[in-house]
Amino acid sequence: MRTFKVSKVNIGLADFRTPDFSDSGLPTTIMKYDKEIIRRKTFAIISHPDAGKTTLTEKFLLFGGAIQTAGAVKSNKIKKHATSDFMEIERQRGISVATSVMSFEYKGFLINLLDTPGHKDFAEDTYRTLTAVDSVVLVVDSVNGVEEQTRRLMEVCRMRDTPVIVFINKMDRDGKNPFDLLEEIENELKIQLHPMTWPINSGKDFKGVYNLHDKSLLLFIANQKATDEDILDMKELSVEKLNELIGEKDAVQLQEDAELIEGVYGELKITDYLNGKTAPLFFGSALNNFGVKELLDVFIRVAPAPLCRETSVREICPQEENLSGFIFKIHANLDPKHRDRIAFMRVCSGKFERNSWYHHVRLNKDLRFSNPYSFMASSKDIIEDAYPGDVVGLFDTGNFKIGDTLTEGENFYFTGIPSFSPELFKELVNKDPMKTKQLEKGIRQLTDEGVAQLFSQFGGTKKIIGCVGELQFEVIQYRLLHEYGAACEFRTLPFYKACWLTSKEPKKLEDFLRYKQQNSAEDKDGHPVYLAQSEWFLNTEIKNNPDIEFHFTSEIHKQQ
């Protein structure tokens, strides 16, 4: 792996510099290629529902010039849908249920932002998205603090030591004490925080934030966008100077808080952040576009460029000459008018070029893409090339599954993209026999996206849908009707968990499936699955069948 020269590494934030190629000794063409890699930042925004994740996404896009107006909810009567929530059902429900991919430039960096679903029923889509990014921004609601989905998402981040930046949102609402929030986040999420900004009060008394590292003060005015001109230089945090701006009481409190924080935390160590041990912390109000620019400016300075990734054969690094990438998301009918099916590929190494031939490892055949896309939520533009860190949309006629790998001839696949066992099971019932073909096509395409799993019961034609949450069934039913013209309903089934089965004794597995026909099925790839009625039944079958292995996840990228 080729390394980059960085003028300072394990140092304070103010001294951090971008890589220097001036004396690298690399050929000019390779230098240009490496610069394309190092200027890319690919990250996801994650949070519990309603913490302000999609609003923060829009503010980033505003700063990057990617959109001109925000789509935030201004009142109960006037609702504009967020740019990233392009599916009709998302607009109606006011939540994100699908990962959106957006690219924009900011201060010379190309930022690939993945806005993920916050709702727990769509956690699996978020988990897979986290395999395609190099860092995350975690949004925490200052009123509610750490919530259930926040804990689950951080567990996934810790599994990969993903670098995390925390943004405490809604400081203009009456919420928890900042020090209490720090303690709660560190205890609940098991990560050390490093405050980069510090709030002056909260709720109706919120007056702004003090930048602990740039030594500057940004005052808050409700419903007014903060600009660079509003940033006040505060190299010396004197009470006298602060008195005129925020009042004596708050001036004294801010000075005490700043001295305490600087004494405890010192300078941010970039290596601790990159190793997932320390999370830089910011305070603000995404709805008011306050404190967001400070976060974005630090993000482009410290967030990692594309990283090396593990495969079934070896580690693949971005600077390798040959292209490699994996499919982490598939979305049918991104544009319902054209019935398109797009596979989202994260480029991991090499350079992707339009109209070039690439090797589909699982199918063992070469494919060429004449219209690869980059994305701005639901809009897309044809691109000529892409580099590691980029997310490319590939028009798909049914060749791809989540986890598939493209290379320039080498046979390997990227690891760590599992399919989890569903928790809810329902039979899919066709309400219009004249639309059978549309229903079958629709359910296959929608389950290819990974939001649900499709099982067919042995010895019958019953189609079973397995989901993590109830809301997924509603989304599937809605999309089948509006995108495929197929009406359906769901009947609840008494299953507890799905387990994929393998055995070194094929005859014993065959006998088990025959004896347990009512509880046996196969997934859409033909793999045998046992549908357990309860934890007791599952444990009993595991004990009584030692020659059969019961798996709670299926590595869906695994070669068939």
pLDDT in tens, 117-149: 644 545 566 777 888 999 999 999 999 999 887
Phi and psi at residue 365, to the nearest 5°: -145, 160
Q: How many residues belong to the chain?
A: 560
Task: Please indicate whether residue 102 or residue 501 has the higher confidence score (pLDDT).
Answer: 501
Domains 39-302 and 418-555 in one fold: no
Indicate whether 96 pLDDT > 90: no
pLDDT score for 336: 55
- What DSSP line would sit under 428-442, residue for residue? EEES-GGGHHHHHHH
From the CB of residue 506, how many other CB atoms can be counted at a distance below 10 Å? 8
pLDDT score for 160: 80
Structure tokens at 499: 């387990």
pLDDT bracket for residue 114 (50, 70, 90) = confident
Query: In which residue are the tokens 């249920």 written?
Result: 97
pLDDT score for 147: 86
The SS3 call for residue 543 is helix
Mean per-residue pLDDT for 68-77? 41
* E-only strand ranges, 50-151: 100-106, 109-115, 135-141
From the CB of residue 9, how many other CB atoms can be counted at a distance below 10 Å? 12
pLDDT bracket for residue 150 (50, 70, 90) = confident
Right CATH for 418-555 from 1.10.260.40, 3.10.350.10, 3.40.50.2300, 3.30.70.3280: 3.30.70.3280
Indicate whether 225 pLDDT > 80: no
Of 2-6, 149-153, 403-407, 547-551, the least confident = 2-6
Nearest Cα residue to 278 out of 194, 160, 213, 195:
194
CATH fold of 39-302 reads: Rossmann fold (3.40.50)
Residue 456's contacts (CB-CB under 8 Å, 6 or more residues apart) are 462, 463, 464, 521, 522, 524
Question: Crossing angle of helices 436-448/470-484, nearest 10°?
Answer: 130
Superfamily of domain 309-407 in CATH is P-loop containing nucleotide triphosphate hydrolases (3.40.50.300)
Percent of the chain with pLDDT over 70: 78
Indicate whether 194 pLDDT > 90: yes
DSSP structural state of residue 223: T
Q: Which span out of 45-54, 137-146, 214-223 was modeled with the highest average pLDDT?
A: 137-146
Of 41-50, 70-79, 466-475, the least confident = 70-79
Nearest Cα residue to 48 out of 121, 112, 135, 110:
121
Domain boundaries, the chain: 1-38, 39-302, 309-407, 418-555
pLDDT score for 70: 52
pLDDT score for 7: 30
Task: Please indicate whether residue 92 or residue 78 has the higher confidence score (pLDDT).
Answer: 92
What pLDDT, in 10s, does the model give residues 166-184? 999 999 999 899 999 999 9
DSSP structural state of residue 485: -
